[in-house]
Amino acid sequence: MSNQEATCYTVVYEDSSESPSTQDLRNALQKGSDEVKIDTLRKIIVLTINGNVQPQLLMPIIQYCMPSRNKHLKKLLHFYWEVCPKHDENGKLKQEMILVVNAIRNDLQHPNEYIRGATLRFLQKISRDQELLEPLIPICRSCLEHRHSYVRKNAVFAIYTIYREYEHLIPDAPELMQTFLAAESDATCKRNAFVFLANCAMSKAVEYVAQVHDQIGSLDELLQMAIIDVIRLDCKADSTHRSRWIRCIFELLNASSHAVQYEAATTLTALTQHTAAVKAAATTFINLVLKESDNNVKIIVLDRLDVLHSKHGHVFDNLIMDVLQVLSSADIEVRRKATSIALSMTSSRNVEDVVSFFKKQLQKTQVQDYEKAPEYRQLLIQSIHVCAVKFSEVAASVVHALMEFLGDSNNPSALDVVAFVREVVEKFPALRPSITKHLIRTLPEIKSGKVYRGVLWILGEYVESADEISETFQEVRKVLGEIPILAAEQRLLDEASIEDDEGKEGDEQKESITTKPRVLADGTYATETAYSSTASARLEAVKAANKPPLRTLLLGGDFFTGAVLATALTKLVLRFSDLSPDKKANALRAEAMLIMTSTIRVGQSKFSSAPIDEDSSERILNCIQTLSELEIKPVVEGIFLSDTKAAYSKMVAAQEKKAAENRELEAAKQDVVQVDDLLTFRQFTKKAGDDVIDYDEDVGRATGAGEAQEDFISNLSRISQLTGFSDPIYAEAYVKVHGFDIMLDVLLVNQTSNTLQNLCLDFATLGDLKIVERPTVYTVAPHGFQSIKATIKVSSTETGVIFGSILWEGPDLSEQAVILSDIHVDIMDYIKPAYCTEAQFRSMWTEFEWENRVNVSTTMSYVKHTHHLDQINVQLILSVSEPREYLKHIMKSTNMSCLTPEGAMAGDSNFLSANMYARSLFGEDALANLSIERLESGTITGHVRIRSKTQGIALSLGDRITMAQKDNRSPVKP
């Protein structure tokens, strides 16, 4: 057998510390017990699989192992006969194999059914050796009549594999199987025989299905699955039995096996597009999700249901409540997938029922022992948000129910509610008064600083009446407590001191000393002494006392919330002064300024856990200055009252526009056919159903068989030179990246006048790369060529290096070698642009621990190609130092997508900050933040921060950006 036709086996780990010689193995086979022979034969099999063939041991194995009655040893012998070389150098069968055939014949006639069945299974592995199989055909036929079903079912598949390779050995096999199928009673044997007919005699398989179609529902599960495959294949050939097959498939929708139900539903939609059939298939999918316990199966079925809905959306109108029942599953991914399908099915006719169901589920999440309640609650809130924005008639009924969760201890859920309320209050002006009133009443229940900031912004923008402004100030005073904060806290501390003085004079001066041993970094011991005074203890007690929520946040150091509070109060005062310029407006202005100054002072005192930051302090001072100049109508008044709201309105409008564009793209998405494309006859026939799942085509796509061939120029760009032209052997490699594999096609050229014997190409790798094949030895003639293929597995997105050497024996049997140049694996083949929301980006940025910071300092030049002028291609070198051009250059170099909206980067500015995101084929997320500045000299400076969950992708992308900076002539398309 040629090397190209040789079977490929898995490389098995071999302990190099124990490598017995051929004589040791022979002695163990000759003198050892059955246990020793089993262990020895296992070692020989491993050696043979790994390429170290032992032809001298073939006869000892035949002589000392074949006569044994040990079943384990017989099984190992089958493995050995499968992998050992059975032909000599001329391709003829070895003489020793005659003895092996005789032993196999005896095992096929053995009274033990296990030995017979195992031997029949072994025949399926050597079905390509005609000389071995031909004497065994009569015995295989006789095994079809054995009393035990284990023998019969293996005999069927043995005959099937022989007939598939050498049809002339058993020419009457289809008729034999048809007769066997009619008389057989065992379910597994019937299924095997039917599979034989389906693959070798389709007409007879169709004839059998037509005979048993009335009782197809009572057949065994395995046979039902095989019948579905036959129906699918028969309908691809425009069968005349289509109507009968549809009735059979309808009956199989009620089968007891979930696998049969899934295959039947999938096949039914391929046979017909009738509304009843599609609805029956969809109902079957939904029932499968509800009954199946495996979450992976649930997600697969939901994916299939989603595809079916995308093609037949009108059929699903009455099934949306059934889909929502899937939310009873405990797995959050299943719930998320089911919710996505339900939202795509939501229309104006059923949106009220859907929202009502979501609200009931939301109430259930309030139970303490509800599984994964926070995540599920957040999913429900987001779903209600989508429904309310898409269908305005339900917004009024859900917004007040959701605002009850603003005080939720689960921060993400409360933030989703704030985002929802903010969008609703902008889009639906009629709901603003009721929403703002509810928000004002909810202020004491809020616990999170982020939620407070969102609510305060909404109140500052949309509270418009004088009464509501006064009510807002009253509630703010309640959640802040006594003003000024610093004086109130100091009074509490003084009162605590007086109480201690009454209890014991001078107690505040008493100090307690605590001493305990410590282990230093160098391993030595030291004594640590801690001094604590009663005064500091009293201060901590005052800080720990129960306080209103907003006051607690300010004393805890959250002065960003304090700055948002100052901005909201400023907007309210400015609006109130326009509505009623009287003494009350002046009183509100004084109260607001008091709150702001109190915030700054407490931030500079000992009562705050952290000092106030400079940005928050400056922001609050700006608000104080604005209120102090109220009479002269400062310019910033327009910024406070109109510009901020206009900016948010513009952002919401941009989001709606983008969503509308995406919907239009999805609606207009269709297959584009070129003018000169060939037409097939299938395009002229009426489509009778959905696309049939062709498993053969799926396998072909998975193995890359259907990939388009690259052109010659593209292939040349992937060639790497491994040795020099003056070396004895010239080597070059064509590097082809396919999925998770790297294929190396190495060409070796013998540039000497000598024959190179025992030539071996040995590769090694750095990074998450793994060599699959074991090195093979070659002989290359003088000035001859040799092509060698190697496969390397890639397991992560990390910069890898492939290096190696070529070893051979010279004229005097001296070892000679040539070291190969390194091949660097480009990670860009595994990184693809991806998109995520801003919230997801922030969450991953906080979660990921690996960060790589790359400094930017470059002046970029681009080559712009102009048109041909008098047959001369003119190239114009332009120095482009725009920050946005540099961003495009980085995106192109790293295959990352920009998440920052185009509107946020619009305008002429010397500064640019943008977020980028990409995802690898291995599911690894890569985040990047670009912050750059253009100097007066035209130089772009700044940095790029890269974050990921693993170290490899962060370092690899950093290296890629560094290389992109060095490339000062990056081409830009005209």
Q: What is the pLDDT of residue 527?
A: 75
Q: What is the pLDDT of residue 862?
A: 44
Please state, in angstroms and as integers, the Cα–Cα distance from residue 80 to each residue in 75, 134, 157, following that order: 9, 20, 21
Which stretch of DSSP H or E encloses residue 40?
A: helix 34-49
Q: What is the pLDDT of residue 634?
A: 66
Which stretch of DSSP H or E encloses residue 189?
A: helix 187-200
- For 891, residues 6+ apart whose C-beta sits below 8 A from its C-beta are 833, 897, 898, 916
Q: What is the pLDDT of residue 974?
A: 32
Exposed, middle or buried by CB within 10 Å (0-12, 13-18, 19+), for 916? Answer: buried
C-alpha Rg value of the chain to the nearest Å: 39
Q: What is the dihedral of CA 404, 409, 410, 416, to 10 degrees?
A: 40
Distance CA 290, CA 814 (A): 71
- Closest by CA to 901, choosing from 911, 919, 889, 914, is 914
Exposed, middle or buried by CB within 10 Å (0-12, 13-18, 19+), for 609? Answer: exposed
What are 729's strand-pairing partners? 750
Look up residue 456 and give its two tokens: 């305060």
pTM over 0.75: no
Residue type, position 72, single letter: H
Give the residues of the chain that fall short of pLDDT 70: 1-18, 237-239, 367-372, 408-411, 496-516, 521-523, 528-545, 633-634, 666-715, 739, 860-881, 967-974
CB atoms within 10 A of CB 525: 8
Half-sphere exposure of 21 (CA within 13 A, CB side): 3
Decide: 201 and 174 in contact? Cβ < 8 Å.
yes
Residue type, position 348, single letter: S
- For 613, residues 6+ apart whose C-beta sits below 8 A from its C-beta are 559, 560
CB atoms within 10 A of CB 814: 8
The per-residue DSSP string of 846-866 comes to: HH--EEEEEEEEE--EEEEEE
Look up residue 565 and give its two tokens: 């509070």
- For 77, residues 6+ apart whose C-beta sits below 8 A from its C-beta are 41, 61, 65, 66
Query: Cα 883 vs. chain centroid, distance in angstroms?
Result: 32
What are 730's strand-pairing partners? 749
Q: What is the pLDDT of residue 112?
A: 87
Distance CA 807, CA 759 (A): 6
What are 963's strand-pairing partners? none
Please state, in angstroms and as integers, the Cα–Cα distance from residue 653 to each residue in 387, 463, 657, 837, following that order: 18, 22, 6, 17
- Closest by CA to 444, choosing from 402, 475, 487, is 475
Q: What is the pLDDT of residue 730?
A: 92
